[in-house]
Structure 1
Amino acid sequence: MKKQVQELRWDPILGEWVMVSNIRESRPWQPKDFCPFCPGAPETGYGWDVLILKNRYPMLSEEPLEPYRHRFYNSSYSYGKCYVVIETPKHDLDDISDLSVEEISKVIHMVRDKFIEESTDKRLVYFLFFRNKGREIGVSLTHPHSQIYILPFIPVKVFRELVNSNKYYQTKKQCIFCNIIKTELEDRERIVYSNSSWIAFIPYYAHWPFEVHIYPYRHIQTLRDLNNNDITLLAQTLKIVLCGLKNIFENPMPYILVMHQAPIHGNYYFYHFHIEIYGIYRTIGKQKFAAGMETGGGNFTYDSTPEEAAEILRNAIDRKCSLSQ
């Protein structure tokens, strides 16, 4: 019988943790005859609108296995928590944008409540909410769902944001994210949607073909800072933006959605809560891959311009999307 492994391994060259878990190999992969997330399944039951369940095949664990002690390399316990957010009882929806604003708001409320609940654990460092959409991304189950990883470290991309936003604040005494909002409002050409609380735009420095960032106008750090009105207007923004991405091309856009917020503990006054969405189609039937330059070199290439992509997405929103759908 193969030994189970679940641990963090330190990459001494890049200075970052790699999560290792061969428990993940056992998870179901796009089953056709049974959906474990539908109402009536053993873990779900009936009578719910949104469910948050512990992941049965976790990358992290509250009772992690003993890490392998190598003579040279460093490893550590993979303490943490992994949850699945089942966003709706409805199995056959193409995307969360097919839900109503009220239904999307329920999902965000549940995630915020889970963040507040887990914040009492001092061993946990970072709460990462993310959503993978599309078989091209590697989604194992198609029932609408998202995930939560509560980590014992800060993810490396967020860590870089924290370092650089702190440097900017120490130099300018201003929030770089707030200044990006100001700049986008002045330029206008990269904005795809906005309301009284949120602005959605394709950044000047976008990496992915249809990469949309969603910022609150209000300078906040974490989910805890969102009030009920913020959540309703965020649900509106997500519905419109994701609907637009779905309708750009003949096939719905595969995407990755990730919530970036400050670490669970501490005061990161220089940081600004936001959401990043990475739409991966360049054009009809053509997918952007993180290939040699991106994966091997670490710098992205962009085959169009963010301004052109923003115009395409705005047109799709204008043609196909409304809050009443």
Structure 2
Amino acid sequence: MPKLRQNIVTGDWVIIAPERAQRPFEFISREKVLRPSKKDCLFERRNLSRAKIPFLPVKARDVYVIPNKYPAFVTTNKINLEGGQLYNSTESEGYHEVVIFKDHNKYPAKLTTAHLAEIIDVYRQRYLIHIKDPVVKYVLIIHNHGTAAGASIYHPHSQIFASPIIPNSVRRILQGAKAYYHQHRKCAYCEIIRHEQKEKIRLLKKNRYFTAFCPFASRFPFEMRIVPQKHQSNFEKITPAEVKGFAHILREILAKLDKGLKNPPYNFYIHTNAARQPENSFFHWHLEVVPRLGVWGGFELGGGFPIDVISPEKCANFLRKVRSG
């Protein structure tokens, strides 16, 4: 029987309707992966150098960062709000960068923990640079894996968007977390971690620094979340030891997803506090993994009402049994 579940932070409802897809193996990816040659890859370092693409400063051996060729945000040094009788618009001021992995064929699930830790630290380095610009109000770090998840270039890479506005979806999360704290005098994410560790049925993995689980009100099949064990609002405050712990648990759950569902397309992204905001008692930065295993229909799009066709409990049970190797 379908059930309604509510996200305690956003207040959003989802429908868990497991009768529509009973078995996890129904979600095994059938996406055909086209592997262009390394020689012709646009993101190979030697090809970028030949094209005179500028490399942005990072302290890393096996990761490099470049400006996006087709940016969503650009540096114009001006923001003019153009208000009319009905609509508003302004320059899309900000930064849009590509974080490129060294190996042409090794995506996050196939990387060593050390290499993934280096990538995460590059995220942190670039984040700290962008928030120095007062124009930047929010920095969103994302990774698209597979064409169905929006990866237009095969070579593994992440993207960093430094925006002059806080995205509405992020604003709702921040406001929801604040409202929960004011009502209960507790951080919603700290409560979720405690509950998931106690119940264990949606728990995937935990280490000294992080907990990974399938959310109670999952919007998508095999949706996963990684949350720091200690209360921490700002991703950029992550310590070197925490970077290693984060890399270890991220690689572990992505490797399980990769092996269990045969390299499915997915997105992951980091939700953190707004730029230059101090640590607070209500928000907890986290990473979300969203596999792209289906297409939203009119009900989901029109009602903003996701239907998840397999329960997070069943997903977590399946993934726990997968040996990540």
Coordinate RMSD, CA, aligned: 2.2
Residue of structure 2 aligned with 1:176, choices 153, 165, 188 = 188
Q: Match for 2:45: what amino acid?
A: P
Residue of structure 2 aligned with 1:108, choices 120, 134, 139 = 120
Preserved contact between residue 143 and residue 269 of structure 2 (Cα < 8 Å): yes
Aligned residue in 2 for 1:265: 276
Q: CA deviation at 1:66?
A: 7.9
5+ long unaligned stretches in structure 2: 1-33
Asked whether 1:56 is paired with 2:62, we answer: no
Describe the SS at the equivalent of 2:44: coil
Larger CA deviation: 264-273 vs 170-179: 264-273
5+ long unaligned stretches in structure 1: 1-28, 282-287
Residue of structure 2 aligned with 1:189, choices 184, 189, 201 = 201
Query: Distance in 1 between the 2:83 and 2:191 partners?
Result: 47
Q: CA deviation at 1:267?
A: 3.0
Asked whether 1:131 is paired with 2:143, we answer: yes
Q: CA deviation at 1:168?
A: 0.9
Describe the SS at the equivalent of 1:170: helix
1:209-224 to 2 correspondences below 5 Å: 209-224=221-236
Q: Percent identity?
A: 28
- Deviation digits for residues 235-292 of structure 1 (CA, Å, limit 9, x no counterpart): 001110100111112x3111010100000122351110100000123xxxxxx21221
Residue of structure 2 aligned with 1:142, choices 123, 138, 154 = 154
Query: Distance in 2 between the 1:267 and 1:67 partners?
Result: 27
1:67-86 to 2 correspondences below 5 Å: 72-86=86-100
Describe the SS at the equivalent of 2:189: helix
Of the two structures, which has the highest relative contact order with CA contacts closer than 8 Å and spacing of 6 or more?
2
Asked whether 1:227 is paired with 2:233, we answer: no
1:1-325 to 2 correspondences below 5 Å: 34-41=40-47, 42=49, 43=53, 48-63=61-76, 72-87=86-101, 89-93=102-106, 95-249=107-261, 251-267=262-278, 269=280, 270-281=282-293, 288-316=294-322, 319=323, 321-322=324-325
Preserved contact between residue 210 and residue 280 of structure 1 (Cα < 8 Å): no
Preserved contact between residue 234 and residue 279 of structure 2 (Cα < 8 Å): no
Query: Distance in 2 between the 1:66 and 1:56 partners?
Result: 24
Q: TM-score, normalised by structure 2?
A: 0.81
Query: Distance in 1 between the 2:183 and 2:85 partners?
Result: 43
Q: CA deviation at 1:224?
A: 2.0
Larger CA deviation: 217-226 vs 207-216: 217-226
Q: CA deviation at 1:184?
A: 0.3
Q: CA deviation at 1:31?
A: 6.9
Describe the SS at the equivalent of 1:236: helix
Q: CA deviation at 1:312?
A: 1.0
Q: CA deviation at 1:39?
A: 2.2
Q: CA deviation at 1:165?
A: 0.7
Q: TM-score, normalised by structure 1?
A: 0.81
Q: CA deviation at 1:71?
A: 5.0
Q: Judging changes above 3 Å, is the alpha-carbon distance between structure 1 residues 268 and 170 closer, same or farther for their aligned structure 2 residues? A: farther
Query: Distance in 2 between the 1:213 and 1:138 partners?
Result: 20
> Where do 4+ consecutive residues of structure 1 move more than 4 Å?
29-33, 64-71
Preserved contact between residue 58 and residue 82 of structure 1 (Cα < 8 Å): yes
Describe the SS at the equivalent of 1:210: coil
Q: Match for 1:77: what amino acid?
A: E
Q: Judging changes above 3 Å, is the alpha-carbon distance between structure 1 residues 68 and 169 closer, same or farther for their aligned structure 2 residues? A: closer
Query: Distance in 2 between the 1:109 and 1:120 partners?
Result: 17
Q: CA deviation at 1:315?
A: 1.4
Q: CA deviation at 1:34?
A: 2.5
Q: Match for 1:82: what amino acid?
A: H
Query: Distance in 1 between the 2:238 and 2:254 partners?
Result: 21
Larger CA deviation: 263-272 vs 189-198: 263-272
Query: Distance in 2 between the 1:298 and 1:236 partners?
Result: 34
Describe the SS at the equivalent of 2:232: coil
Preserved contact between residue 191 and residue 202 of structure 1 (Cα < 8 Å): yes
Preserved contact between residue 181 and residue 188 of structure 2 (Cα < 8 Å): yes
Preserved contact between residue 37 and residue 44 of structure 1 (Cα < 8 Å): no
- Deviation digits for residues 115-149 of structure 1 (CA, Å, limit 9, x no counterpart): 11222111100010000111112311010100000
